[in-house]
Chains A and B, each alone.
Chain A
Amino acid sequence: MKTVSSNILVLGDSHCNVFIPALKNQLTSHNIVGGQLPLGPGWFENFHSQTAPLTFTRPEAQALFEQWVTALTGQQVTNILDVEAQILCSVTCIEHCVHSWMWTQWCPAPTPDRDFISDTVLDKIVSGFFGHILHFFELLTEAGHPVVNIVSPLPRDNKNYKVQVHDALRAVLHRRFDALGVPLIDVSDLSRDPETTALAQPYYSTMKGDKIHGSPGWGRLVSQSIVETTIFDHTS
């Protein structure tokens, strides 16, 4: 674990914005910065090069990333591992690999009108999609950062077996992140409607038209789980 700063730099996608306020309330002695990366949710996809493993492959993206980190931390770094902050990494990993094809064509559970995919095939899909991200997490872990990963909120309904897909992916991700020693923050069961098995209404986003993100209440659940499972350095 790095013992250099009580700064916590959060890297992730738009779901970070939901739990960061709650995390700030809980970790009042820490300076929590960061959140949704400026390059959108697909940022991890380009965040690797052969010569400098934790830099963006495109120079423009790298320059933008450096500006962003500098603005947040006051540090000018090229390689993210060199930043003097504890990195709380949050990639909400469900939606990214659940593209429309998976909602409409494939299903990990026996269903009458969807193609079935076995647990092994699903595991390999996850490897195919998350291979790069898992490697990135591995490097951050080796560098002593308290990396966690967040599972995005459950779908609001089970249309097209979305909940089944979500749950099957969660199971695979838990295995993968356990093997990596990275906590997977998963509040799905705490925020689930027992009848529909989908996201319970109190955890719906309060933003008009937003059907993807969780409510501040969901953010509090996530924040609580992060604090319970992650050892932050409290030295300053």
Chain B
Amino acid sequence: MTPYRKQKRKHFWRTAAAKDTARALSTFYTPKFKIAKSTKVAAAGSCFAQNIRRHLIQNGYQFVDFETAPPFFPEVERKSFGYELFSARFGNIYTLEQLHQLALRSFGQFETSEPFWEKDSRFFDPLRSTIEPNGFASIEDAQAARASHLRRVREMFLHADVLIFTLGLTETWISQEDGTVFPLCPGVNAGVFDDEKYAFSNTGFSENLESFCTLRRFLKSQNPDLKFILTVSPVPLEATATAHNVICATSYSKSVLRAVAGTVCDQFPDVDYFPSYEIFTSPLFKGQFYQDNMRDPSPDGIAAAMDLFFSAHQADQKTVPAPHITPPAPNTAAAAKEAADRFAAEQQTICDEMLLGNENREL
């Protein structure tokens, strides 16, 4: 008798990938630890993580937001100012090292040498340059805003029970002077690109593993009960700075991140992995969970992923109901446009990486 004899149906492709895709999906995820409605959940990461925030709130979970918009701030503008996207106003965090440095900065253990960026007499924080679309009036204001923000981030790390982090990219831009990791390539939104000051890095498995392990060790020293749920964003790269085709670059990036997530999930009891990446990219679903551009997640895809997440956390594993999968809509331009419009209106996400698509280039 081989060890495979004891395996269940979900462990074999022939049975797991049967025609009933909804049933197959229901076996994708078995939580290592449960999230109760009273669990204080924080979220950070790439743009896909914004969906997690919204769905946690809608499902009555205690999503913690430590940097809320001031009262009377117009609701329609909150997201473009970095409010109501994550658990603090840090904007997209695409890489593990960026999150690691944010944690260190929030506890006063790392300070970037990168100065604030000036553009049209306004000042931008290079580490979250999109959260104030018009920039700050002065360097003093930018410093004060950063200090406020880091206080809030520290509170988030100290008081959250679970941090859900969506790993987005391996490609990153760093300061040659002190290794500061930027969320966006300098010069894209603000700042001036200078190849003597900034370097490109396509981080590999060992670097990302090291970043997470160091981050985890540091955060556990501050908040010993903190648990992590990692996901890998299923959103492909908007652009690559490597010499490779963007699809191949995406495959490398996601493979590395997935391998790191799997490794730390196996290694640490307080780290879990939620397979949002597999839900979107598995051949079982034939790409139906993406919008027409094959990059942006569709509302149905997000609903399927979130249904799986919540049904797994709300129910005993033996009775996990099959997540709801909406059959693909008729492939008409009108239906696609309607779905896209509805998605944009109801579930606006802010993806800083999209700014890379604004670069002028010869095609």
On chain A, the residues within 8 Å of B151 by CB distance are 115
* A contacts with B, residue count (CB < 8 A): 23
A121-B152 in contact (CB<8A) = no
Known contacts A101-B70, A119-B137: does B144 contact A124 (CB below 8 Å)?
Answer: no
In the bound complex, how far is the Cα of B145 from the Cα of A111, in angstroms? 10
B141 part of interface (Cβ distance < 8 Å)? yes
B132-A118 in contact (CB<8A) = yes
Within the complex, what minimum Cβ distance (angstroms) separates A115 from chain B? 4
On chain A, the residues within 8 Å of B147 by CB distance are 110, 112, 116
A97-B137 in contact (CB<8A) = no
On chain B, the residues within 8 Å of A126 by CB distance are 72
Interface residues in A161-217 (C-beta closer than 8 Å to B): none
B136-A128 in contact (CB<8A) = no
- Counted as pairs of residues, one from A and one from B, with CB atoms less than 8 Å apart, the total is 55
On chain B, the residues within 8 Å of A116 by CB distance are 141, 144-145, 147-148
A61 part of interface (Cβ distance < 8 Å)? no
Within the complex, what minimum Cβ distance (angstroms) separates B161 from chain A? 23
Interface residues in B331-353 (C-beta closer than 8 Å to A): none
Interchain CB contact (< 8 A) of A128 among B74, B81, B132, B143? B74
B140 part of interface (Cβ distance < 8 Å)? yes
Known contacts A125-B72, A128-B74, A129-B72: does B136 contact A118 (CB below 8 Å)?
Answer: yes
B144-A111 in contact (CB<8A) = yes
On chain B, the residues within 8 Å of A127 by CB distance are 74
In the bound complex, how far is the Cα of B73 from the Cα of A120, in angstroms? 11
Interface hub of A101, A115, A118 (most chain B Cβ within 10 A): A118
In the bound complex, how far is the Cα of B74 from the Cα of A117, in angstroms? 14
A133 part of interface (Cβ distance < 8 Å)? no
B70-A121 in contact (CB<8A) = yes
Nearest residue (CB) in B for A120 is B134
Interface hub of B73, B77, B147 (most chain A Cβ within 10 A): B73
Interface string of A100-117 (1 = CB under 8 A from B): 011000100111101111
In the bound complex, how far is the Cα of B151 from the Cα of A114, in angstroms? 10
* B contacts with A, residue count (CB < 8 A): 22
B71 part of interface (Cβ distance < 8 Å)? yes
In the bound complex, how far is the Cα of B103 from the Cα of A159, in angstroms? 32
On chain B, the residues within 8 Å of A129 by CB distance are 72
B77-A124 in contact (CB<8A) = yes
Nearest residue (CB) in B for A131 is B74
A102-B70 in contact (CB<8A) = yes
Within the complex, what minimum Cβ distance (angstroms) separates A219 from chain B? 29
In the bound complex, how far is the Cα of B170 from the Cα of A75, in angstroms? 73
Within the complex, what minimum Cβ distance (angstroms) separates B122 from chain A? 9
In the bound complex, how far is the Cα of B70 from the Cα of A99, in angstroms? 11
Nearest residue (CB) in A for B123 is A118
A110-B144 in contact (CB<8A) = yes
On chain B, the residues within 8 Å of A102 by CB distance are 70
Interchain CB contact (< 8 A) of B141 among A106, A118, A125? A118
A110-B140 in contact (CB<8A) = yes
A120-B132 in contact (CB<8A) = yes
B74-A124 in contact (CB<8A) = yes
On chain A, the residues within 8 Å of B134 by CB distance are 120
In the bound complex, how far is the Cα of B71 from the Cα of A110, in angstroms? 20
A101-B136 in contact (CB<8A) = no
In the bound complex, how far is the Cα of B151 from the Cα of A182, in angstroms? 40
Provide 12 A-B residue pairs closer than 8 Å at the C-beta atoms, listed in order of the A residue. Answer: A109-B144, A110-B144, A111-B144, A115-B148, A118-B141, A120-B81, A120-B134, A121-B70, A124-B73, A124-B81, A125-B72, A128-B73
Binding site for B on A (CB under 8 A): 97, 99, 101-102, 106, 109-112, 114-121, 124-129
